[in-house]
A and B are shown apart, each in its own frame.
Chain A
Amino acid sequence: MKTKHAHLNEEKLFIEENIVNGKNIEESINDEANEFIPFTNNKGKKIPDNGILLFKSCLISTEYPGVESSTKFVFDKLGIEYIIDHDQSCCTGLGHYSDVFDQYSTTLIAARNFDIALKDKHPNIATMCATCYAINKKASNILNNDDEIRNKINKVFTDCGLKRKYEKGSIDSKNNIFHVAEIIYNKKNEIKEYIDKKLKNQLSNLKIATHHACHYCKVHYNDTIAGVTNPNILDELVESCGYKTIGWFNEKRTTCGAGFRQRFVNKELSLSVTEEKLLSLYEEDVDILIHMCPNCHMQFDRYQPYISKNKNKPLKTMHLNIVQFIAILMGADIESVVGIQTHTVKIKFLEKSD
């Protein structure tokens, strides 16, 4: 008790970095209980299959709406109970990381979204975007640990006449906030039942690689499942559909290069990273790169033709979100559900199968 409260004020100073003495906040809070657990472990993480608020993402809605419809399609197939609430707002992530929104505004928006989830009695938030995932987790850590900020935010709600309030601990970063990939991972042994065998054989010659989003693997890494330094959640999901990925490849862990504002203010640097990774995929002759974040998806899919032209290399890798990949295999309509018409790099293997 003593040490925790005494440290809270100091922690506040570090919250921006989300690191306290080299540990993230949650880890340092759990320290006492986990004295003898040396390394990261996710054994305590329970993944729900109901009471889920599917957290809408700006980039998905505007760039790749097929990811959302594919998620619903896959959730329905796997019997995952969820709702969507159109009152929910943007997490601010893109703006936050571009220094448009400060941490306080971001936390306030999160408190509002959490209240919506709680009022809907769907307190398990599942994000389709890795940025929403990390932003919401950080905000819930702040709201649960910093009384001052929480009280200030609740006062804003009251002052504005809103019937909203965030109670300490009502949304737990570890037990209430998930990435959609995790919700599906939890049911990965059931995926095979729903896979269209005819389709599966048609796709069997494709080389598949995975791109794990930084804000899923590298920010709240104590909660990341299936590998952090060697991320494998997407590889394992692809495997559960009956495919093998190429596994590790040069630059597997390299960022997409988007870096939020970097793409716009530092384009050359941003694209040089994207290029490096795309060339590595080219060397490996990869047909499909599997994504879990619309920001990465966009960076690769939208800029690949540009890089291909600049580098004079026939880059051919297609880009699919993991839920799109699974939805396709489950027989979803490729336009009305998977939404491949919104992709810049054409999804060719499906045209062939038509």
Chain B
Amino acid sequence: MKEKNKSDLRVGVFICRCGGNISDNVDIEMVKNSISAECIVEFENLCSINGKKAIREEIISNKLDRIVIASCSPISHEKIFQNYVNPLNPYLMDMANLREQCSWVHNKDEASSKAISLINASIEKVKKSHSVSPIVCQTPESVAIIGGGISGISAALSIAKGGIKAYLIEKESTIGGNMVKIGKVFSPVKIAEECGLCLLNPLINDVAWNENIEILTNSEVISGSRQSGTFNLVLKQKPTYIDGKKCIACGKCNELCPVNVLDEFNEGLSYRKAIYKPFSQSFPDSYTIDIENCIKCGSCENVCKMGAINFDDEEEIKALNVGSVILATGHEIFNPSLRPEYGYDRYEDVISQNELARIMGVNGPTKGELLTLSSKKRPKRVVMIQCVGSRDEKPDGHKYCSKVCCMVALKNANLIKHKYPETDVILCYTDMRTPGMYEKYYKHCQNNGVRLIRGRPGEIIKNSEDNLVVKVEDTLTKEFIEIETDMVVLSLAMEPSKGTVEIAKLLDVGLTEDLFIKEAHPKIKPVTTDISGAYVCGTAQGPKDITESIMQANAASSKVFELMHNGIELEPFVAEIDKDLCTNCGECIDSCKHKSILTIDNEIVIDPMSCSGCGECLRACKESAISIQGNISEKIYATIDGILKDKKEDERRIIVFLDQIGYTAADNIGINRLSYPSSINIIKVHSINRVSPDHIIHGLKNGADGVFIGEYPGDLMYEKVEKKINKLKDYIKEQGVNPERIQFSKVYIPYFTGLAKSFIEFDKKIESLEEPFFKKGSSKNKEC
């Protein structure tokens, strides 16, 4: 459709009285007489169904091209009025905020003239509007879940039961993760320990039987990219040398295999064969060959009746296109060698909690009997050391609390006490952290005789009798004590797994300073990552227990349902790239803080899902190949002109640029009936970054007395904008204009009182400023 000339456009203005909210303070008659438009209609409640009818009638009968709704804030009713202007395109309507930013914040004398300038600004702006359509993204209805531990399993089950295809990708030969090894789990409410595998096994079975889940073990993601809601992953599947379809897991091969290898399942405390099943309930239920240790003697091949063994098995590369990714890559444990003072490498009887769990496990190396590793005797005393590698500011340590270790140590201490009441168990702790119901379990353990010493041991040595001695200061009694013991158990910190860091790099997902996956927001978006469509759950995101991991897994799966249900409708004001002009220089990729620009098949592509429309790439692109639809820059110029229209000689007008967050804060000033000077005129922009130095200078040259830019410090563009404004201040200073006329401020939604105060102070400051000032049209508008 050919756009009409600006002067030919027929604009209709609809003024809402809002049941007195507006009309009590704004002289509607006077406003109507002061503005010019094709039709000006006054209505009691414009948002009612009757309002809809009235707007529609006027549009049709007056052949209106553009609509201005002068009513409440667009934050509350924009979607409603976008719908009410049908048959016009929803983006050809603009709202003048006569309520929150006029009648509620100014007195009767000021409100009417302010209303006029607000409506004028909207009229000018709407004349520059283009009709655009929202972008709809449909994503494939499938999910790749990376990591087959308890988090990945829980997420897969939830997603599959909701009718979406789930691929469960696990790099080991079995799913199950860390939970299969920890033996007992406990519930703080019941104050009882339960068998962990008995809880996990039914879930593993559910996963195995669910038709919507495809389990890909021995598999790793080796590359990944995303485009408009589709993740293109490439997987590498290691050969197992056994045909899983033929293997019946009879175990005859295992009996004959002559090679003994340290068994990872038992933390290397026992041996397994080179052809093995990780543990009896492992899934897939077939054997696998550890080719690094296999001597290829062929015994297994000879004994296998099913002919399942195939030494020619090869690595497979698979492509996977999915609509979403859930990162459930789990954790690893702090390397105890990094704390040489505890002698993990020197003394056999210094072990980790995980090793203790295996020793105590009935399917472990000692069949559940507590024995020291050196002498295979029952220890008379066990000392546990908390916070090894966590809450630790020394080099290589982690500053965070590992969160679960207090509970793990208490559980294992209690298990020992329960089975061997004569064994003395001492916990050396930094602080006991047993929040919520866990506190009850803590008391329960104390009652069972577990002893606690507050102090972080400095060193473990062997004395002349060859016994371990733990040297610790009891920080409650301030005494140095040396505890002779038969066994020391280190509670090692949970730390991010290598897999977590690798997958984050592959998919460009942000990490925290501790290298866990960073959530989009730690409070309100706990499973969302900074890549849209990618979610995180479990210990990949930070240390946590099984319950919390499962909760996060379910939260991540519900996010997937949100994404897949109807596709996503996006605001159309996002960057687009003209492939004919693009030279693939890549400058825009570096400039984009939102990681929305990527290269696919040697072509630069912008992902509308994650683009914020900040416009930074427009500046980076030397070829001007990138544009944002909606004519935003021109609309800003027009709004400025509208605000400054009919400015009187002795009047002060200040332009304020705010984005969604700042605008909401400004609305809050009105909602709370605070006030600020009527010289303040707020322009809502998509992203503060879209306000260019030229816009600001245009405002100053055409009568604005000051320009105020407010930005939420959490915005990714905050620092860039601040830098830009500082540069601009230097520039106008060179031009002989007082740089104080421009102000950059932080805004926060709840701190609206602060914003009101800033407005008042800025207005006062501007009032106090004397010339020099830009003379209208005096110097040439220079790029800066």
- Beta-carbon contact of B399 and A229 below 8 Å: no
Kindly identify, within residues 464 to 521 of chain B, every residue whose CB is under 8 Å from any CB belonging to chain A. Answer: 464, 511, 513-515
Instruction: Give the chain A neighbours of B514 by CB distance below 8 A.
Output: 38
Asked if B395 and A39 sit within 8 Å, CB to CB, the answer is yes
> Which residue of chain A is the closest to B496 with respect to CB atoms?
A38
Q: Pick from A50-58, A180-188, A247-255, A258-266 the stretch touching chain B.
A: A247-255
Indicate if the CB atoms of A229 and B395 lie closer than 8 Å.
Answer: yes
Q: Are A229 and B341 in contact (CB under 8 A)?
A: yes
Question: Is the Cβ of B340 less than 8 Å from the Cβ of A229?
Answer: yes
- Mask for A217-236, Cβ within 8 A of B = 1, else 0? 00001100000111000000
- Cβ contacts under 8 Å, A222 to chain B: 395
Q: Does A333 contact B (CB under 8 A)?
A: no
B395 touches A250 (CB 8 A): no
Q: Which residues of A contact B722 (CB under 8 A)?
A: 2
Q: Is A170 an interface residue (CB 8 A)?
A: no
Residues of A close to B719: CB separation below 8 A: 2-3
> Which residues of the other chain, A, contact B461 by a CB distance below 8 angstroms?
250-251
Q: Is the CB of A22 within 8 A of B341?
A: no
- In the complex, what residues of B have CB within 8 A of residue A228's CB? 394-396
Q: Are B459 and A251 in contact (CB under 8 A)?
A: yes
**A230 contacts which chain B residues (CB < 8 A)?**
338, 340
For B338, give its contact among A35, A229, A251 (CB under 8 Å). A229
Which chain A residue lies CB-closest to B460?
A250
**Complex partner residue of B464 from A3, A39, A283, CB under 8 angstroms:** A283
Contact residue range for chain B?
Answer: 20 to 34
Q: Is the CB of A38 within 8 A of B515?
A: yes
Asked whether A221 and B346 contact (CB < 8 A) given A2-B719, A230-B340, the answer is no
With the chains together, A35 CA to B518 CA distance in Å?
13
A contacts with B, residue count (CB < 8 A):
19
Identity of the chain A residue whose Cβ is nearest the Cβ of B464 in the assembled complex? A283
Cα A228 to Cα B343 with chains together (Å): 16
B684 is an interface residue with CB less than 8 A from chain A: no
Chain A min CB distance to B540 (Å)? 15
A38 to B500, CA, bound (A): 14
Q: Which residues of A contact B338 (CB under 8 A)?
A: 229-230
With A40-B396, A222-B395 known as contacts, the answer to whether A229 contacts B339 (CB < 8 A) is yes
In the complex, which of the residues A1, A40, A221, A283 contacts B723, with contact meaning CB atoms closer than 8 Å?
A: A1
Q: Is B393 an interface residue (CB 8 A)?
A: yes
Q: Contact flags (1/0) for B433-477 with A, using CB distance below 8 Å?
A: 000000000000000000000000001011010000000000000
A283 to B464, CA, bound (A): 9
Q: Enumerate chain A residues within 8 angstroms of B464, measured Cβ to Cβ.
A: 283
Q: Is the CB of B459 within 8 A of A229?
A: no
Query: 1/0 per position for B723-752, CB-CB distance to A under 8 A?
Result: 100000000000000000000000000000
A257 CB, nearest partner CB in chain B, Å: 15
- Least distance between A252 CB and chain B CB atoms (Å): 8
* CB-defined contacts of A2 to chain B, threshold 8 Å: 719, 722-723
Contacting residues, chain B, for A251 (C-beta < 8 A)? 459, 461
List A contacts of B393 (CB < 8 A).
22
Interface centre among A22, A35, A221, A229 (most CB of B within 10 A): A229
- Of B346, B395, B513, the most chain A CB neighbours within 10 A belong to B395
Chain B, Cβ-Cβ closest to A249: B461
Interface positions of A from 1 to 34, Cβ below 8 Å from B: 1-3, 22
Q: Identify B394's interface contact among A38, A229, A250, A283, CB under 8 A.
A: A229
Q: How far is the CA of A273 from the CA of B696 in the complex (A)?
A: 68
Set of chain B residues within 8 Å of A253, measured between Cβ atoms: 341
Q: Is the CB of B396 within 8 A of A39?
A: yes
Given the complex, which residues of A lie within 8 Å of B513, measured CB to CB? 35
Q: When chains A and B are docked, how far (Å) is the Cα of A253 from the Cα of B341?
A: 8
A1 to B722 Cα, complex, angstroms: 11
A36 contacts B341, C-beta separation under 8 Å: no
* Across-interface contacts of A36 in B (CB, < 8 A): 511, 515
Beyond A2-B722, A229-B338, A248-B340, whether A40 also contacts B459 by CB under 8 A is no
**Cβ–Cβ < 8 Å partners of A250 in chain B:** 459, 461-462
Among A1, A22, A230, A283, the most chain B Cβ lie within 10 Å of the Cβ of A230
Contact of A22 among B346, B399, B511 (CB under 8 A): B399
Contact B346 A248 (CB under 8 A): yes
**Interchain CB contact under 8 A, B511 and A229:** no
A-side contacts of B723, CB under 8 Å:
1-2
Q: Considering the complex, which residues of chain B in the window 160-201 have a beta carbon less than 8 Å from any beta carbon of chain A?
A: none
Residues of A near B515 (CB, < 8 A) are 36, 38
CB of A221 within 8 A of CB of B395, answer: yes
B87 to chain A, nearest CB (A): 49
The residues of B that contact A221 with a CB separation of less than 8 Å are: 395
Which of B343, B393, B396, B515 neighbours the largest number of chain A CB atoms within 10 Å of its CB? B396
A264 nearest CB across to chain B (Å) = 24
Contacts of B394 in A (CB 8 A): 228-229
By a CB distance below 8 angstroms, the chain A residues around B340 are 229-230, 248
User: B462 — which chain A residues lie within 8 A by C-beta?
Assistant: 250
B-chain residues with CB within 8 Å of residue A40 when the two chains form the complex: 395-396
Contacts of B346 in A (CB 8 A): 248
Q: How far is the CA of A36 from the CA of B341 in the complex (A)?
A: 28
Give CA–CA (A6, B742) in the complex, Å. Answer: 20
CB distance from B593 to the nearest CB of A (A): 14
Q: How far is the CA of A34 from the CA of B464 in the complex (A)?
A: 46
Q: In this complex, what residue of B is CB-closest to A222?
A: B395
Chain B residues whose CB sits within 8 angstroms of the CB of A1 once the complex forms: 723
Shortest beta-carbon distance from A152 to chain B in Å? 27
Identify the closest chain A residue to B720 (Cβ).
A2
CB distance from B486 to the nearest CB of A (A): 18
Interface residues of B in 392-407 (CB under 8 A from A): 393-396, 399
CA distance A3 to B514 in the complex (A): 20
Task: Give the residue name and chain of the A residue nearest to B495 (CB).
Answer: A38
Q: How far is the CA of A1 from the CA of B511 in the complex (A)?
A: 22
B459 / chain A contacts, CB cutoff of 8 Å: 250-251
CA–CA, A228 to B338, complex, Å? 10
Q: How far is the CB of B350 from chain A (nearest CB, A)?
A: 13
**Chain B residues at the A interface, C-beta cutoff of 8 Å:** 338-341, 343, 346, 393-396, 399, 459, 461-462, 464, 511, 513-515, 719, 722-723
Additional 20 contacts, C-beta under 8 A, given A38-B515, A39-B396? A2-B722, A2-B723, A3-B719, A39-B395, A40-B395, A222-B395, A228-B394, A228-B395, A228-B396, A229-B339, A229-B340, A229-B395, A230-B340, A248-B340, A248-B343, A248-B346, A250-B459, A251-B459, A251-B461, A253-B341
Q: Which 7 A/B pairs are nearest by Cβ-Cβ distance?
A: A230-B340, A250-B461, A228-B395, A40-B395, A221-B395, A39-B396, A22-B393
List 7 A-B residue pairs with CB atoms under 8 Å apart, sorted by A's residue number: A1-B723, A2-B719, A3-B719, A229-B339, A248-B343, A250-B462, A283-B464
